[in-house]
Amino acid sequence: MHRHPSLVLAFLAPLLPLASCEAIGPAPVAELDLWTDAAAGTADATLAELCAEYWEASLRADPFRATALGDPRYHGDVPLTSQRARSERAAEYEALLTRARAIPPARLNEADALTWELLVGGLEQALEATRLGLEDWTVDPIEGPHVEVLNLARIQPHGTARERRQLVQRWRSLSSYVRQASINLEYGKVRGKVASRTAVNKVVEQLGRILDLDPFDSPLVAIATGGGTWIELPPNGNVAEIAHERLGDSRRQRQLRLLNLHLQDGERLVIGTRILLPAQDDPLDVVQRGEFLYAVLRAVEEELYPALAGYRDVLRDEILPVARGDDRPGLVGVADGEATYRALIRRHTSLPLDECDPREIHEFGLAEVARIRGEIAALGEKQFGTRDVGAIQELLRNSPELHFTSRDEVEGKAVEALFAARARMSEYFGRLPIAPCEVVRIAPYEERDTTIAYYDAPAADGSRPGRYYINTYAPETRPRYEAEVLAYHEAIPGHHLQLAIAQELEEVPLFRRHEGSTAFVEGWALYTERLCDEMGLYSTDLDRLGVLSFDAWRACRLVVDTGIHAFGWSRARAIEYLFQNTLLARNNVENEVDRYIAWPGQALAYKIGQREILALRDEAKRARGASFSYPEFHDRILENGALPLTALRGVMERWLAK
């Protein structure tokens, strides 16, 4: 979710090892056996082989994801997104799919039959994504390439010499990744497929802010400082004087020069620059740290910043003049837009194609919005003495005492909510995740234009916990009454509980632990928002109004997403509808609508997934009667990973039949 004018360094000799194109070297033996459980729990040998091959293919296709999962083999690589690379990837998936379809599912046991169904579905979806070619016309202010590359600093390992070489190799390759994104957009433009004007404008503005950031302040450089501190070196400054003042000995200027190899650039000394003071607990010696830091700084200044500037220029000069206008920003303004939208509905909801009718989804959304408005009116009368939804919205949006006053308050409430949720988990869930969850503030470079919160799953190797990222930007616009429901959705018992448990399912293949249906993942998190009221987790009726606001928000998504992409709604109409039918602040409403424009179909997954899980729970209650158990039901829902909704129906029906 992320983001610099280029400061070009003179090419200094001799070449430093980390700054060269030195090969990383063969992987240690331990890494060759990293995923021995890729086909865990699979009895059929042919199916097991395909599960392992599919897992490896998915890691090769997305090295960033491989790093996030803790696979050290790909720490130096970037995704290949050219037409040729995508075509080769599609051919690989097509071959795997042909082999999978050759397996008669009737010969498989029940567990293998489910794995086969998910493998075939995953390969079909991967091929569909290749056909859609979203890389050629999607511009995304939330998860675009400029955001992805900056977020790498959060997950990139650099503790060993090999990891540092991989980091430098990847940092140097980021420029080609960003340049390819520019090429892809120009390719899409020629074929009549372009992004929306608002999305392009937002990303151009984001790139401007990134490029205005001094490279010394970039998170991609900060990762190489070892905890040291940058200070200003004034024009024609004296390094010996800084060594005397800061380190207590002018003779330590040699140490500073070894640590700050960029000082060899005489022009920097003339105009002024930064100088890094070493951290006392730096695990590297001054030579190692200096070489690593210099290689990273050069990669960012000389290669990545110019690539980001080029990406900005292509967006501003080539794409913006022909971008989809705010009057019709949806897929109705894109070649083959109707078919593309239906395919994206299917991709995100996992519904059969005949259930992916935008009109039916739109009508379902309208009905849900009306129902929830009635609930808001009833609870508003209890809390404020009025059933007028507009008056309730006015009170909630414009009462300063109902909003946070500081970033610390926003973060503190998130921590408090998770503490409360942990205390009640065992009453409603049998299986609980081993991985912990921590609260983290969204970084300054992305907070202005991103959503109110999001979650990142733990590293598969346990090296990184699950992280609930909370947006503390403009705290006076962050309502107190939405803080609890937001925490429960994003962390516990929402995303963290479900995704961490999925990763820890040692009895199923790896692709089932780490991939899955958007409708399941988001539907589960939305389902838990109301479940938490049954668990007694909401403090006041104001917090329950926050629950209704969030539920209305997701219902509005059904109306707004289909309105934009199937029925030609303008951006302004979508913003006004969402503002009138939720309790969200206007800045959040605008970011949300821009998200729906950039991610067609994704916003539909929440309500549709929630509807399915609630229907299955009602069915289980009818079938089990007095013996119905929340922990048992939830364990059955979660024990197979994030299933497509059709597969989830089958699993739960078989469970109830038993």
> pLDDT for 532-582, tens place per residue?
999 999 999 999 999 999 999 999 999 999 999 999 999 999 999 999 999
Q: Which two tokens stand for residue 568?
A: 């030609």
Instruction: Calculate the CA 627 to chain-centre distance.
Output: 39
The reported pLDDT for the residue numbered 334 is 85
Q: What is the largest CA-CA distance in the chain?
A: 82
Which tens digits make up the pLDDT trace of 429-444? 999 999 999 999 998 8
Q: Which two tokens stand for residue 2?
A: 């992320």
Q: What is the average pLDDT across 199-219?
A: 95
φ/ψ region of 272 (left if φ > 0, alpha if ψ in -120 to 50, else beta) reads: left
Crossing angle of helices 541-567/358-384, nearest 10°?
160
466 and 437 Cβ atoms separated by less than 8 Å: yes
The reported pLDDT for the residue numbered 587 is 81
DSSP codes, 521-549 = HHHHHHHHHHHHHHTT---SHHHHHHHHH
Residue 417 has pLDDT above 80, yes or no: yes
Separation between Cα atoms, residue 314 and residue 137, nearest integer Å: 13
Q: What is the average pLDDT across 2-11?
A: 27
Query: What DSSP element (H or E) covers 116?
Result: helix 110-132
Domain extents for the chain?
17-217, 341-611
> What is the number of other CB atoms lying within 10 angstroms of the CB of residue 161?
13
Q: Rounded to the nearest 5 degrees, what angle is found at the Cα of 323, between the Cα atoms of 150 and 193?
A: 90
The reported pLDDT for the residue numbered 16 is 32
Residue 22 has pLDDT above 70, yes or no: no
Which tens digits make up the pLDDT trace of 470-518? 999 999 999 999 999 999 999 999 999 999 999 999 999 999 999 999 9
- CB burial of 556-569 (b: ≥16 within 10 Å; e: otherwise) equals bbbbbbbbbbbeeb
As a whole number, the mean pLDDT across the chain is: 92
Q: Tokens 């140490």 label which residue?
A: 255
The reported pLDDT for the residue numbered 92 is 97
Give alpha helix (H) positions in 424-540: 425-428, 444-447, 483-490, 495-503, 510-514, 518-534
407 and 475 Cβ atoms separated by less than 8 Å: yes
Instruction: Indicate yes or no: pTM above 0.85.
Output: yes
